[in-house]
Structure 1
C-alpha cells in the first residue's frame, strides 16, 4: 500500500483534500494531507520557500513513510518537486496536479506571466502576502457555486517569501518518476517547462476535463487518477 502525501496550492491548507481522502483510504492507502507553514491553521508560522520544502520532507521523515506518492497542486508543485528528490528511496512517484514545477534558481514570482516586478508589487500592496482569489476569479473553472464559496471562504493570504525565494535542485527534475495532471479548463497545454519535462521517459501526462482546482470540482475523479498511479 502507498502513502499519499497531499499538498494543496496557494491560499489552501490540508482541508482542501477532504473529499479526495476518503476514496484513497477506502482503497487501503495511507493519506497525509499537509498544511504548509503560513497557511490555514498554521498561518502565524513564518515561511519562505525552503520552509515549505522542509515541511514536506519533515512530515515524511517524522511519520517514517515509505512508498510515498507525493502530490503537489498548483504553487505547491515547486516545494513538492524539491522535496521529492530529497526523500530518496522513500519516493514511489510524484504527481503534479496542474502545478508549477521547480526550476533551479527560479521562483514562482520569476515565472509570473506579467513579470516578477509586477508580481512583487502585488505582494507589497498586500503587506507581503498574496491575496486570495474572489468568487469572480473562479469563473470558468468547472466549479459549482457551493464549491466556489467553500474555496473562497477557506482561503488565507499566502506568505510572499515562499513565492520569491528560489528553488534548489541537485539533479534534473526529469529524472524523477513523475506524472503531470493537466486540467484542461485552465488551458489545453502544459507550459513550456513542463512540456520539456514530459519528453523524459520517467514522466507521463494525464488530462482531466475540469478546472484548476479538481479537488473541489471533481474530487472522486482526481482520487481515481491518483489511485491509478499505484495500481
Structure 2
C-alpha cells in the first residue's frame, strides 16, 4: 500500500481531489489531500513558498507516512518538488500533474512569459494576494460548465509571496524518482527543460488528452496514472483510451 499526498494548484484546496480519491481508496492506498496555508479552509494563514514546502513536509512527517507518492498540480509542483527531496526515504515517487517545476533560486513568477509583471501588479492591487479568475479563464480545457462553476466557487485568493519567493533545491531535480503528467488538447511540443529531464532514467512521462485541470475533467484517467505510480494495478485499470506513456522528448 502506498500513501498518496495530493496538493492542488493555485487557489485550490484539498477539495479539488474529491473525484480522484474513490478509485485510489478502492485500490487500498492511503490518501491525504492537502490544503496549503492561506488557501481553502486555511484562508487567513500567512504563507510564503517555504511555508508551503513545510506544510507538505509536516503532513508527511507528522503522520509518519512511508511509501509516499507525492503529487503536485500546477503551481504546487514547485513546493512539492522541494518537499520531495526533504522527506528522504519516505518518498517512493513524486508525480507532477501538468505542473511548474522548481528551479533552485528561481520563483514561480519567473516562469511567466512577461516575467510575471501582470501577476505582480495584480498581487499589489489585491492586498498581497493573486485573486481568483473568472469562468472564462477555464474555457478550452475540456471542462463542462458545471465543472467550471465548481472550480470558480471553490477558489480562494492565493498568497502572493508563494509566487515570488525563490525555490531552494539541494540537488538536481533529475535525481528524484518522478512521473510528469502532461495535459494537452492541442498537441503542443514538450518544453525543452522538461524534455531534458526526461533523459533521466528516474523520470517517466505520461499524457492525458485534456486541459490543465484533469482532476475535474478526467478524474478516473488521472487516478489510473497515480495508481500506476503507486505500484502494479489490474489489467483493466492499466488500460486507458486517454493516457499512455510516451517516448521522452517527443512532441505532444
What does 1:143-222 align with in structure 2 at a 5 Å threshold? Answer: 143-185=143-185, 188-222=188-222
Indicate conservation of the 8 Å contact 1:72/1:80, yes or no.
yes
What does 1:20-169 align with in structure 2 at a 5 Å threshold? Answer: 20-169=20-169
Q: Quote the offset at 1:214 in angstroms.
A: 0.3
Deviation larger for 26-35 or 197-206: 197-206
TM-score under structure 1 length normalisation:
0.97
Q: Distance in 2 between matches of 1:118 and 1:210?
A: 27
Q: Quote the offset at 1:190 in angstroms.
A: 3.4
CA RMSD of aligned residues (A): 1.1
Q: Quote the offset at 1:119 in angstroms.
A: 2.5
Q: Distance in 1 between matches of 2:187 and 2:116?
A: 21
Unaligned runs of 5+ in 1: none
Q: Quote the offset at 1:193 in angstroms.
A: 2.3
Q: Quote the offset at 1:114 in angstroms.
A: 1.6
Number of positions where the alignment pairs a residue of Structure 1 with one of Structure 2: 231
- Kindly provide the CA deviation profile for residues 22-67 of structure 1, in whole angstroms up to 9, marking residues without a partner as x: 1100000000000000000001100000000000000000000000
Indicate conservation of the 8 Å contact 1:186/1:211, yes or no.
no
Unaligned runs of 5+ in 2: 233-252
Q: Quote the offset at 1:105 in angstroms.
A: 0.2
Equivalence for 1:5: 5
Q: Name the SS for the 1:54 alignment partner.
A: helix
Q: Quote the offset at 1:187 in angstroms.
A: 6.2
Indicate conservation of the 8 Å contact 1:135/1:148, yes or no.
yes
